[in-house]
Amino acid sequence: MNYRIIPPDGYIEGTVRVPLSKSMSNRALVINALTPGALPLKDVAMCDDTAVMLDALATEGDVTVNIGAAGTAMRFLTAYFATCEGRQVILDGCERMRRRPISPLVDALISLGVGIEYLGERGFPPLRITGKKLSGGTVKLDSTVSSQYVSALLMIAPAMDDGLTILLEGDTISRPYIDMTLKMMGRAGIEYDFSGNVITVSPGRYHPVEHEIEGDWSAASYWYELQSVASGEICIEGIGGGSCQGDSVVARIYEELGVVTSFDKAGARLEASPEFSPRLQLDLADCPDLTPAIVVTCCMAGIPFRLTGLQSLHIKETDRVEALRAEMLKLGVILTEEQVGTLVWEGARRPMTEMPVFDTYGDHRMAMSFAMVSLYIPGIVIKDVEVVTKSYPDFFTQLQSLGFRCLDGDAPLPRDGEEDAE
């Protein structure tokens, strides 16, 4: 399904509610599955990514599990099934998943004695995993590609006879997500130490706990994007200060993009500010998922930028760096990847020749970030809007609650003063 998006006239004011964090939810689901006597969790994110995790964790015996496009599930379940003694599981995904690397995690698990075979191209899914009781010990892990490799190993570490020590090699990306994993493990009774580039987890048993899942700060980034380029006031329910999510840094980043955040019992209140940075320079290695919203915001507001730490975006649901470059070019905006992981815009443009129709590449973040372009160019089309079910199924419904109209993508652009047909 494609949507042609028409923004409201004038002042935008209203309340939206972000979904629960899928990052916290998926960690809670794995920890809960590893906890003796644990009851099913009451509140987790309701989206495609958690649905495939729930289905996979409910399987028994020797099975084939297809997780589709859920990258988190692929990493976490590879480690989880490695601990399922006596089971043989084939773990597969969509075609894009078969191009996303998994070898750092697989190599670490093999060094711990797990039997894992590549059923296709070496280094990529699908995998045949033969679970066993693990002794533990020390492993080296390349942490420059994905922090999820680290989190996957950490969550199964308490079940190992001798616990686990992980030596992180290289510049660790998305470190706040590792901290999130350890904090959630700690709340469930696990002892650990994280000093320098060494993480040690003691052997032990998880204790049943009711994991408190926060609202998703990465989902909030699209409402920050809206507030930055529109006049109005938005309240985001479900998020608050003191979050363990690395993406909560979006509130500080958008202080440079004309948005002031305050918190009350309802959530976060976003208000306009006249303070805009003349040029944005950020290292997003700890929060790469914020990149699409920040790029679109800056280009719409005419703010040059240099964003570093984006290496992992090349292996997301799509190659987000190349996807952003291609789609921004439809707006006449010329982005440059100065070197791998560094995206730059110094204001270069070329004429826009037609109404933009944005491809989403099967990527939820592309759909949500580009929807806000409608504030500058009413009538833009977003293709395949159903991709948002991966993390934020209600996104377009909530966008409409703020006065936006989402028409059939093939519908003609309404003329001034003409209402669209329902």
**What domains are defined for the chain?**
3-20+214-408 (3.65.10.10), 22-201 (3.65.10.10)
Name the CA dihedral angle for 221, 225, 227, 230, rounded to a multiple of 10 degrees.
-160
406 has which bridge partners? 5
Contacts of 53 (CB under 8 A, 6+ apart): 25, 26, 29, 30, 67, 70, 72, 73, 76, 77
Q: How far apart are CA 93 and CA 68, in angstroms?
A: 4
SS3 content of the chain, % helix, strand, coil (to 5): 35, 25, 40
Asked whether 340 and 294 are in contact (CB, 8 A), the reply is: no
pLDDT the model gives residue 422: 37
Catalytic residue among 49, 289, 363, 384: 289
Cβ 359 vs Cβ 2: under 8 Å? no
Nearest CA to 298 among 276, 314, 316? 276
pTM: 0.92
**How far apart are the two ends of the chain, measured CA to CA in Å?**
16
Nearest residue to 321 (alpha-carbon basis) of 350, 342, 347, 299: 342
- The radius of gyration of the chain from alpha carbons, rounded to an integer in Å, stands at 22
> Prior bond to 126 cis, omega within 30?
yes
Structure tokens at 258: 């004309």
**If you write DSSP's letter for every residue of 17-67 in order, what string do you get?**
EPPBPHHHHHHHHHHHHTSTTPPPPS----SHHHHHHHHHHT--SSEEEE-
Nearest Cα to Cα of residue 221 among 259, 178, 263: 259
Q: Is 305 exposed, middle or buried (0-12, 13-18, 19+ CB in 10 A)?
A: buried
Instruction: Report yes or no: 19 and 45 within 8 Å, Cβ to Cβ.
Output: yes
Alpha-carbon gap, residue 15 to 203, rounded angstroms: 45
Say what the pLDDT of residue 420 is: 47
Strands of the sheet with 88-92, listed across from one edge: 63-66, 88-92, 127-130, 115-118
Contact between 16 and 236 (Cβ < 8 Å): yes
Spatial contact of 20 and 70, defined as CB atoms under 8 Å apart: no
Taking each helix axis as running N to C, give the angle between helix 364-371 and helix 291-301, from 0 to 180 degrees, rounded to the nearest 10: 20
171 is catalytic: no
Output the pLDDT for position 416. Answer: 60
Q: How many CB atoms neighbour CB 180 within 10 A? A: 22
Residue closest to 134 by CA, chosen among 86, 89, 199, 83: 83
Cα 331 off chain centre by: 25
- Tokens found for residue 198: 């060494």
Helices (H) and strands (E) in the chain, counts: 12, 20
Give the Cα separation of 24 and 9 in Å (integer).
37
Ranges of beta strands (E only) in 224-361 are 232-237, 257-264, 267-276, 280-283, 305-308, 336-339, 342-345, 357-358
pLDDT along the chain (422 residues), means of 10: 94 95 96 93 92 96 95 96 96 94 96 96 97 95 91 97 96 92 97 96 95 95 95 92 94 96 94 92 96 97 97 89 97 96 96 95 96 96 96 97 94 65 38
